[in-house]
Amino acid sequence: MQQAYFPNIGKVPYTGTSSLKAGLNFQYYDADEVIGGKKMRDWLRFSVAYWHTFGQKLDDIFGDGTAIRPWDGLTGMDLAKARVDGAFEFFDKLGVDFFCFHDRDIAPEGDTLRETNKNLEEITDMFVDYQKTSHMKVLWNTANMFTNPRFVAGAASSPFADVFAFAAAQVKEGLDTAKKVGAENYVFWGGREGYESLLNTDMKREQDHLGQFFNMAADYAKEIGYTGQLLLEPKPKEPMMHQYDFDAATTIAFMKTYGLEGTYKLNLEGNHANLAGHTYQHEIRVARSANLLGSLDANQGDKLIGWDLDQFPTNLYETTMAMYEVVENGGLGKGGLNFDAKPRRSSFTPDDMFYAHIVGMDTFAAGLKVALKLKQDKVLENFVADRYSSYDTGVGANIEAGKEDFKSLNQLVIDRPQSDIRSATKSGHWEELEATLNRYIIDTLK
């Protein structure tokens, strides 16, 4: 490391909850503490998103970037290299084990793809060197196929065959990169894989091309012996009016249509869930039920602005329920929690980069603690088991065993009076469960 990019910041320590004031310390995240049979770092597998943390200028559609960064003033490959040095200092001081990047986050584009790849490889050589002297791993890498104007109408779903070829070449390099840096996953987020208007779109043809593209990618990964997990990241819209990988359920249907369930899993993001009209927990539950939970992009949206804001996660209820699903899943396997999040435009100093990650990590660590306690006491399991217990014996068990039909069931209920059938249902006690959840959060974190 040539110079310190964050000279005023040391390694972020774990201090526990002795102070009410937050600072450059963790109050809940104690990386090596074993809870629920695993170290916290292994439950949570935190990852820093290269684009937001080292690329963001913190601009918005009405205003220029506000970010003050140690590499301001540099350009081109000098900027790219300074960011690598700064990034590895940041990872080390924050105490994370993983990072994620798009190809275009780490190096500038040249005039041809060949020149672009050369720039990219110079930077990934630096990654590989740093990986030898640190414990840092790549959670996933991906191809940015939405910024360059050639992707105006999509990448693999573009109406233009040459653009499909460019996308293929870019993902080929992406998978080679994944193998080179040992990425545990490779992600496809279909930034512009959707449409703006059906008036000019052949939806079936675009989806067929996209399905074919994912199969070609899986074939190439196999051919080069890349063994990481391939992931699709659903999002309903933005920048397109409609994105084909709308949400977990839609993407699973797409995967089944194009024979991708054996080779791909899902990467799910909190803010994307909200844009699709779901909770984060819903999306994770859908994936988990289908055995397709791959990895998580950790961020949150805002009730007051309906857009992909990529806020750092600070909502304890959301992180508790997300971690509840992760605990039920037995962990995240090769996946992790990638902070696809940026500080607000008004939080523009370099130490905000630390504060933002610290609150995200602590909020997920706190959520993990509550989730494990809920699970240990079987609070929800017992309630849910009782709620469905009529399927454990008698006619319920017969239905599940396929031993009943419409005629036999008709026979069973045709003469039963209304007063009698009311006694067959039970209250869901939603509010009572929420009160219990409040108690668990307050008591576990005190």
Q: Is 140 in the site for ligand XLS (CB under 6 A)?
A: no
Residue 233 or 325 with smaller CB distance to ligand XLS: 233
Identity of the residue, 117 or 142, whose beta carbon is nearer to Ni ion in the bound complex: 142
Q: Tell the smallest beta-carbon distance from residue 189 to ligand XLS (Å).
A: 4
Q: Which residue has the tokens 């990986």?
A: 131
Catalytic residue check, 386: no
Residues that bind Ni ion (rule: CB under 5 A) add up to a total of 4
Across the strands, what pairs with 295? 267
**Residues from 22 through 51 that contact ligand XLS (CB under 6 A):** none
Which one, of 209, 108, 216, lies nearest residue 153 by Cα? 209
Cα–Cα distance, 440 to 129 (Å, whole number): 45
Question: How far, in Å, CA of 446 to CA of 441, rounded?
Answer: 8
Out of 176, 340, 352, 362, name the contact with ligand XLS by CB under 6 A. 340
Q: Give 193 or 308: the residue with its C-beta nearer to ligand XLS.
A: 308
Closest CA to 280 of 243, 344, 323, 312: 323
Identify what 254 binds: ligand XLS, Ni ion, none; CB under 5 to 8 Å per kind: none
User: What is the distance between the alpha carbons of residues 30 and 361, in angstroms, rounded to a whole number?
Assistant: 10
Q: Does 235 bind ligand XLS (CB under 6 A)?
A: yes
**Among residues 142, 158, 319, 363, which is the contact residue for ligand XLS, using CB under 6 A?**
142
Nearer to Ni ion, 81 or 272 (CB): 272
Our finding on whether 233 is near ligand XLS (CB under 6 A) is yes
CB-CB contact of 174 with 224 (8 Å): no
Smallest distance from the beta carbon of 3 to ligand XLS, in angstroms? Answer: 29
Nearest-angstrom CA–CA distance, 412 and 400: 16
Interface of this chain with ligand XLS, residues 249 to 288, rule: CB under 6 A: 269
Closest separation in Å from C-beta 248 to ligand XLS = 14
Number of residues near ligand XLS (by CB under 6 A): 10
Residue among 50, 91, 127, 189 that touches ligand XLS (CB under 6 A): 189
CB of 233 to ligand XLS, least distance (A): 5
C-alpha–C-alpha distance, residues 172 and 53, integer Å: 26
Interface with Ni ion, residue 85, by CB under 5 A: no
**Residue 308: CB minimum distance to Ni ion, A:** 5
Catalytic residue (one of 97, 105, 247, 308): 105
Active-site hit among 52, 85, 102, 278? 102
One residue of 89, 173, 245, 269 binding Ni ion per CB under 5 A = 269
- If the CB atoms of residues 28 and 50 are measured against ligand XLS, the closer one turns out to be 50
φ, ψ of residue 4 to 5 degrees: the values are: -90, 125
Quote the CA–CA distance of 329 and 333 in Å, as a whole number: 9
Do residues 378 and 372 lie in contact, with contact meaning Cβ atoms separated by under 8 Å?
A: no
Q: Which of 176, 297, 318, 362 binds Ni ion (CB under 5 A)?
A: 297
Q: Token digits for 336?
A: 């992790």
Q: Scanning residues 227 to 266, which ones bind Ni ion (CB under 5 A)?
A: none
Asked if 334 contacts 184 with a C-beta cutoff of 8 angstroms, the reply is: yes
Rg of the Cα atoms in the chain: 24
Active site residue 30: no
At closest approach, how far in Å is the CB of 271 from Ni ion? 6
184 binds ligand XLS (CB under 6 A): no
| Burial class of residue 316, CB neighbours in 10 A (0-12, 13-18, 19+) | middle
- Kindly state the smallest distance separating residue 293's Cβ from ligand XLS, in Å: 16
Residue 283 interacting entry, from Ni ion, ligand XLS, none, C-beta within 5 to 8 Å by type: none
CA torsion, points 345, 351, 355, 357, in degrees to nearest 10?
Answer: 80
* Residue 363: C-alpha distances to residues 14, 249, 314, 360, 369 (Å): 14, 27, 6, 5, 10
Asked if 340 interacts with Ni ion (CB under 5 A), we say yes
Q: Closer to ligand XLS at the Cβ: 233 or 362? A: 233
The residues in 392-431 that bind ligand XLS, with binding defined as CB under 6 A, are none
Determine if 297 is a binding residue for ligand XLS (CB under 6 A).
yes
Instruction: Quote the least distance from Cβ 64 to ligand XLS, whole Å.
Output: 21
Residue 164: phi, psi to the nearest 5?
-55, -45
Rounded to a whole number, what is the distance in angstroms from the first to the last CA of the chain? 40
Q: 3-state SS string over 161-221?
A: HHHHHHHHHHHHHHHHHHHHHCCCEEEEECCCCEECCHHHCCHHHHHHHHHHHHHHHHHHH
Report, as residue numbers or ranges, the catalytic residues: 102, 105
Q: Which residues bind ligand XLS (CB under 6 A)?
A: 102, 142, 187, 189, 233, 235, 269, 297, 308, 340
Q: Which residues bind Ni ion (CB under 5 A)?
A: 269, 297, 308, 340
